[in-house]
Amino acid sequence: MRLWWTTACYELIKYSRMRSVLIILIALPLVLILLLGSAFDTHIKPAKVALHVADRGQMRESIDLFWKDEAITPYIHVLVADSEKEVQDWVSEGIADYGIYVPESFSEKLLAGEMAKWHTFSGRYGEKNMVAEAVVDRYMANVNLNLAAVATFGPNYKPVNEKSGSAMVSGESFLTIGTLDAGDNQVFGKATSMQYYSVAYLIMFLLYGGMSAALALLDQKENGTLQRLYAIPVSFRISVFGIIVGSVLLAALQAIIIIAFTASVYGVEWGRHFGWIMLICLLTVAAGVGLAITIASFAGTSKTTQTLFSILIFTMTFLSGGMIAGIESMIGDVSKWTINYWANSGLRAIMSGNDSLAIWNNIGMLALISIILTIIGIIRLPKVVKQHG
């Protein structure tokens, strides 16, 4: 055991010194997950709104109730300021995303039928400004509606929702959120966009990790170190096994870093079955290694292998919806012929807390593919590693 473990450890040391490999295998997927996950994420984060209400008139109570409404709190986090200047300062310093000042004369002007308005201060983030403005507009629309009703039906008219002075029904959201947990997204299934792309790119880059085993063998054959390994008094199978294990360990490390990082920094919920997740990752890497060795046995050189395998991974990722979410609905069952499909489905089933049967269906298919590709890889391995293969 010691010798293959020595080889595997030194493989890891070598990888750790190759900055480009680490960037491609670990940093790149994290960046892609962030970019695509954020770009397609319709989940709105709460905007911090600095608020100072100077108005002490009849509308004051309804204004205070409005900002405390449960329907608003998921989208607006109110910071109470002591003055209009403080509201302005907080927005300019970035303490608040948006600022609102309700003038002292607001109630008076409104009830006198004059033009009355809130003073608003936009912050640096357009998305947060939109959220806050939507809330303000909604309040104003309801106030105008009630005033129009009073003008039409007389002063005895009572608004439908006296509590907040708005037409909002408690619990009814006027802002869209983008997870299928809420049951309103046909694209990402039961996952958020961040979850969706975390899975897609974890699997894609684990396959790349599998390719590194075949490339390591070919590179060592090309630069002569494999020849030296043959000449040592150890069965060459042990040396080759050590090199492959080194790449698998790198892929495992890659998976742990991507999962841990996306969970802690991007807030991706991976579910509670870490063991199953690692099993899917391991099966994916095994399939990747088997496939890469098979390609390498025909390609002969590391450059050709890298090109062919990259095209294959790219195609499989595309067909399984890793680049265009929901592509399965356009291409039908073609995606089921990819490694990515079964690995992605398995991970997403774990994330969604599906029942074990649904998870094991995916893991079973992935295992079958991995076993077949590993067997083919083992058969073709001598062509890759033999000196005169």
Partner 1 sequence: MSLVAFREVVKKYDTALTVNHLTFNIEAGEVFGLLGPNGAGKSTTIHMLSGLLEPSGGDILVDGFSIRKQPLEVKKRIGLVPQELAIYEALTARENVTFFAKLYGLRGQLLRDRVDEALRFVGLLDRAKDKPLTFSGGMKRRLNIACAIMHRPKLIIMDEPTVGIDPQSRNHILESVRELNRLGSTVIYTSHYMEEIEAICSRIGILDQGKLIACGTKDELKRQSGQAEKLIFEIDRAIEPALLEMQEHPGVKHVDVDKNGTVLEITVKESSSILQDLLFIVQKHGINLRKLTRVEPNLESLFLQMTGRTLRDE
Site residues for partner 1 per CB under 8 A: 3, 6-7, 10, 13-14, 17-18, 223-225, 227-235, 239, 387-388
Q: How near is the Cβ of 3 to partner 1 at its closest, in Å? A: 6
Residue closer to partner 1 by CB (options 117, 386) is 386
Residue closer to partner 1 by CB (options 3, 279) is 3
Residue closer to partner 1 by CB (options 220, 370) is 220
Across-strand partners of 119?
101
Q: How near is the Cβ of 386 to partner 1 at its closest, in Å? A: 9
Q: From edge to edge, which strands make up the β-sheet containing 98-102?
A: 76-80, 47-53, 98-102, 119-122
Q: How near is the Cβ of 285 to partner 1 at its closest, in Å? A: 22
3-state secondary structure of 242: helix
Pairing of strands 47-53, 98-102: parallel
Integer Rg of the chain from CA:
30
Q: How near is the Cβ of 350 to partner 1 at its closest, in Å? A: 36
Residue closer to partner 1 by CB (options 94, 224) is 224
Residue closer to partner 1 by CB (options 113, 233) is 233
Tokens of residue 292, six digits: 């890469």
Residue type, position 60, single letter: R
Residue closer to partner 1 by CB (options 231, 357) is 231
Helix intervals (H) in the chain: 2-17, 19-22, 28-39, 60-68, 84-93, 106-111, 126-153, 193-223, 225-231, 236-264, 274-299, 302-319, 328-331, 339-351, 356-385
Q: How near is the Cβ of 16 to partner 1 at its closest, in Å? A: 9
Q: How near is the Cβ of 227 to partner 1 at its closest, in Å? A: 5
Residue closer to partner 1 by CB (options 220, 254) is 220
> What are the DSSP calls for 149-208, one per residue?
HHHHH-TT---S-TTTSSSPPTT--SS----GGGT--SSSTTS-HHHHHHHHHHHHHHHH
Q: How near is the Cβ of 209 to partner 1 at its closest, in Å? A: 17
3-state secondary structure of 57: coil
